[in-house]
Amino acid sequence: MRAMEVNERDIHLKVPFSALTRLMEQLQPQDMLRLRQWLDEKLAEYEDELMLANARIMAEIREARMEYEAGEYVKLDVCAH
C-alpha cells in the first residue's frame, strides 16, 4: 500500500473583522488567553520589525549603547533617591 502524498499549500481567506470578533466571543476563557498570548507575541515581532526598519530609532539605540559602554548613564536606583 502506498502512503498518501501531502502537498503543503497556502490558503488565503478573507474573513470580515466582525465575523472574526464574533467567533472569538464564542471561545472559552482559556482559549481567549491562548489567543491573547499568541497575538502579544506577533505584535512584539511586528514592533521589532518596525523598529529595525526605522533609521531614527536605530540611531537612538546605537547612541544609547555607546553612552552605556562609555559609562555615561545613571542607575535607576540613584534616580529614585
Is the pLDDT at 21 greater than 70? The verdict is yes
DSSP annotation string for 21-68: HHHHHTS-HHHHHHHHHHHHHHHHHHHHHHHHH-HHHHHHHHHHHHHH
Q: For residue 79, report the phi and psi dihedrals to the nearest 5 degrees.
A: -65, -30
- pLDDT tens-digit map of 25-72: 999 999 999 999 999 999 999 998 888 889 998 899 899 999 989 988
| pTM value > 0.85 | no
Rounded CA-CA distance 21/1 in Å is 45
Of the candidates 4, 35, 34, 6, the one whose C-alpha atom is nearest the C-alpha of residue 20 is 35
**What ranges do the domains of the chain cover?**
29-79
